[in-house]
Structure 1
Amino acid sequence: MFLSPDGLLRISRPNEHAQVRLVCFPPGGSDAWMWDAYSRRLPETIELCAIQLPNRGEEMADYTDHSQIIAAVGQSLLTHTRKRQKIVFHGYCVGALWGYEVALYLREVAGVQPDHFIVIGCMAPHERAAQTAFMKTPAFVDVMTGFYKPGSPEYNYILSIIPAVEHDSEMLSQDISPLDKPFDFPLTVFGAEHDQFVPNCEDLRAWQGYTRGPFRVQIFEGDHFFGLHHPDFLMKLLTECIQTELSLA
């Protein structure tokens, strides 16, 4: 286990020989440890690095400007990067918005960018308002808790992270840095036919303007949680995507 001194990076299975570091940004309100179970399903060629956003728990009150979060995560990634290791960003749901902002920061501050960006279930940054606003509604809570029996540990956990979800929504509703020029990395977007948060697939295709590199959208059966609720499928999907775009054996 590797935990960065600043607490922002979590690598449950460090592997200095891995060709790729998969940097995973969490869905709204979630913590980095959620990715531990997923990392065990990746091949040895891919090392999963989970981002622990700092605006959690008692620290939420310390963050009133999302740029503080972006800079902290960006600097931590720069400090703890491995030489000659390719970097792939993955954002599930609004985790993709955090990933986009960090990618912008890295390009501006250090002149670097990820080798690939994989988005699942998130509207393009310029169309995000409906998705971030929904995160602060009772309907959102109903969707999130609807899979679990009231009073169960899972149900209570969802209720416990709602304040963090709402804080993420507030941070991501702030002005996002404009895209002066598209990125160069391949950009892959996955979605679901019955996504409760992104009902219009055109909101996924709107990501195309964010890269000059290869771009594709693929829609699967199921709802917003088609990947999160099926770890084997999600890691197989990400692995195949990475191997194809980066030409890994």
Structure 2
Amino acid sequence: MTPTPWLRCRLPRVAPEVRLVCFPHAGGAASFFTSWTRALPDTIEVWVVQYPGRADRINEPCIEDMAALARAIAPAISALAGIPVALFGHSMGAAVAYEVARLLQRDPATAPVHLFASGRHAPGEVVDEAVHLLDDEALVRELVRLGATDGELLRDAEIRSVFLPAIRADYTLAETYRHLPGPVLDCPITAVIGTGDPEVTAAQARRWREHTSAAFALHGLPGEHFYLVEQAEAVHRLIERGLTTGSGSPVGASRH
């Protein structure tokens, strides 16, 4: 593989059957998915997108436009062709993964085999939000409310100066994103939400079914917006089933 600033793979597999590319949430970095590399079976090789403006890309400018970000990421994933690729995105990352999937689908050789959309309303669901316009204090309170960060940590002005620019840029990207009509995905979509998530309802997540011509499944797991931290094992099992059966839908799961 040619090195790329966009993707990280901490544990290359000897003979993977599928590559799972993960997209972090707003303000998130590739390190969020570190534990996934060993938690998933040897047949699944985990890759993670590293957005600019954080971690080892801290000195690069953030991208605040969804289309521009998707266009930048898609070629890096296209280079993984040869082994089927699935996409998993959480929160903002779900929308980014979807837009990248739309680009990858233009070429049958790079079309994804599955999209896992976590903690995010469907692309066509317009939600009027303006978190990116809040002052620093209010933005930190919002992050703490969602369980995204330690409020005490961000009381330090120097730490804020490092982390808040990328977080604000990501919220700008996510909140100004508007879905444009086009072909639906050919691959299955599995939507997953925390049953206590204040940011997305089951009805909003269910509308992901409108964006695929293939199978769709909706799963609710105990927890709030960052349910996937405590429910990591359950999420991993959903991914395994989804990549095995195509739908990721166990008995009793909603498909409507």
Give the shorter-chain TM-score range. 0.7 to 0.9
Question: Which residue of structure 2 aligns with residue 67 of structure 1?
Answer: 67
Structure 1: how far apart are the matches of 2:182 and 2:239?
A: 28
For 2:75, the aligned partner's letter is: Q
CA contact (8 A) 1:145 1:158 kept: no
Question: What displacement does 1:19 show?
Answer: 0.3
Q: SS at 1:21's partner residue?
A: strand
Give CA-to-partner distance per residue, 1:210-238, whole Å, 9 cap, x none: 00111111112221111123433332332
Question: Which residue of structure 2 aligns with residue 102 of structure 1?
Answer: 100
CA contact (8 A) 2:114 2:242 kept: no
Question: Which residue of structure 2 aligns with residue 213 of structure 1?
Answer: 214
Question: Which residue of structure 1 aligns with residue 166 of structure 2?
Answer: 164
For 1:190, the aligned partner's letter is: V
Q: SS at 1:222's partner residue?
A: coil
Q: SS at 1:91's partner residue?
A: strand
Q: Where do 1:88-127 residues align within 5 Å?
A: 88-108=86-106, 110-111=107-108, 112-127=110-125
Q: 1:158 to 1:237 in 2, by over 3 A?
A: farther
Q: SS at 1:218's partner residue?
A: strand
For 1:187, the aligned partner's letter is: I
For 1:75, the aligned partner's letter is: P
- Normalised by the size of structure 2, how large is the TM-score? 0.80
Q: 1:45 to 1:128 in 2, by over 3 A?
A: farther
| Structure 2, gaps ≥5 residues long | 249-256
Question: What displacement does 1:105 show?
Answer: 1.7
CA contact (8 A) 1:118 1:189 kept: yes
Structure 1: how far apart are the matches of 2:232 and 2:245?
A: 20
Question: What displacement does 1:88 show?
Answer: 0.9
Q: Where do 1:49-198 residues align within 5 Å?
A: 49-56=47-54, 57-60=58-61, 63=63, 65-79=65-79, 81-83=80-82, 85-108=83-106, 110-111=107-108, 112-130=110-128, 133-134=130-131, 137=134, 138=138, 139-144=141-146, 148=150, 150-151=152-153, 160-176=162-178, 178-198=180-200
For 2:23, the aligned partner's letter is: F
RMSD: 2.9
Structure 1: how far apart are the matches of 2:46 and 2:222?
A: 26
CA contact (8 A) 1:11 1:48 kept: yes
CA contact (8 A) 1:101 1:176 kept: no
Structure 2: how far apart are the matches of 1:239 and 1:136?
A: 39
Q: 1:66 to 1:223 in 2, by over 3 A?
A: closer
Structure with more of its chain in strand, by fraction = 1
Question: Which residue of structure 1 aligns with residue 30 of structure 2?
Answer: 32
Q: 1:107 to 1:237 in 2, by over 3 A?
A: closer
- Normalised by the size of structure 1, how large is the TM-score? 0.82
Question: What displacement does 1:148 show?
Answer: 4.2
Question: What displacement does 1:241 show?
Answer: 2.7
Query: Matched residues, percent identical?
Result: 24
Structure 1: how far apart are the matches of 2:203 and 2:179?
A: 22
Question: Which residue of structure 1 aligns with residue 245 of structure 2?
Answer: 244
Q: Displaced runs of 4+ in structure 1, greater than 6 A?
A: 156-159
